[in-house]
Amino acid sequence: MAKIKSNRNSTRKEVIIAEAAKLFREKGFSATSMRDLAEHVGVEAASLYNHISSKAEILQEICFKVANQFMSHIEQVDNSQRSAIAKIEEILRFHIRQMVEHYEEVYVSDREWKHLTEPYMQNMQSQRRAYRQKIALVIEEGIRKGEIKHIDAPTAVLIMLHAVSGIESWHRSTKKIEGNVLEDNMVMILVEGLKK
């Protein structure tokens, strides 16, 4: 029987979660079975249960790992003494890098979280709402200080986050630019549109 291969940087559970994220992105959470995951990892389905209790647990791990990283980052940015424009740029750059470097996990967290069971779904909804509100508050701070145009902050947040989630099409592109060039272009377009 094959064993789940881990390396110095990852536990077997982390390997399973990373492979599950790929499958959830490709097939969707609902259409992915534990048997699919076992085949993908190269072990018997029963072996997976030595490391995880269920497919639902994997989704929870992915969603909350991503959500906690984003929330931790925005709190650091928010507590800095930078201008609102500099804060928005840093938030966007972090989002873009996460979508480029950790695509599967971020994609699954963004698209498949609705399959979480309670109380996890409600917790995730609250975190997503709180995160958007924190970005909106940074924009409103910039409006008050005269750095940002007088715009509707929640609408600006939705536009920015939807633009970043569109990086999924960059991953599918056969003629894609480098990730750092993509980041610089997106930040320039999105941030310049906010400046007064």
**45-103 confidence digits (pLDDT tens):** 777 888 888 899 999 999 999 999 999 999 999 999 999 999 999 999 999 999 999 99
Question: Is residue 76 one of the residues assigned to a domain?
Answer: yes
Question: Is residue 147 one of the residues assigned to a domain?
Answer: yes
- Of 4-18, 41-55, 178-192, which range is least confident? 4-18
Instruction: Quote the domain boundaries for residue 43.
Output: 12-48
| pLDDT greater at residue 160 or residue 41 | 160
Looking at the fold, whether 61 and 26 belong to one and the same domain comes out as no
Tally of CA atoms within 13 A in the half-sphere of 163 that contains its CB:
18
Looking at the fold, whether 34 and 63 belong to one and the same domain comes out as no
Question: Is residue 2 one of the residues assigned to a domain?
Answer: no
Question: Is residue 1 one of the residues assigned to a domain?
Answer: no
- Of 12-21, 137-146, 154-163, which range is least confident? 12-21
Closest CA to 85 of 8, 173, 194, 4: 194
Quickly state the pLDDT bin for 7 (edges 50, 70, 90): low
Looking at the fold, whether 24 and 70 belong to one and the same domain comes out as no
Specify the CATH number for the domain of residue 25.
Answer: 1.10.10.60
Looking at the fold, whether 122 and 44 belong to one and the same domain comes out as no
- Of 162-166, 172-176, 180-184, which range is least confident? 172-176
The three-state secondary structure class of 156 is helix
Q: Write the CA distances from 21 to 75, 94, 116, 168, integer angstroms.
A: 26, 20, 14, 14
Planar angle of CA 94, 25, 108, nearest 5 degrees: 45
Q: Is 101 left (phi over 0), alpha (psi -120 to 50) or beta?
A: alpha
Q: Is the pLDDT of residue 114 over 70?
A: yes
Q: Chain-wide mean pLDDT for the chain?
A: 90
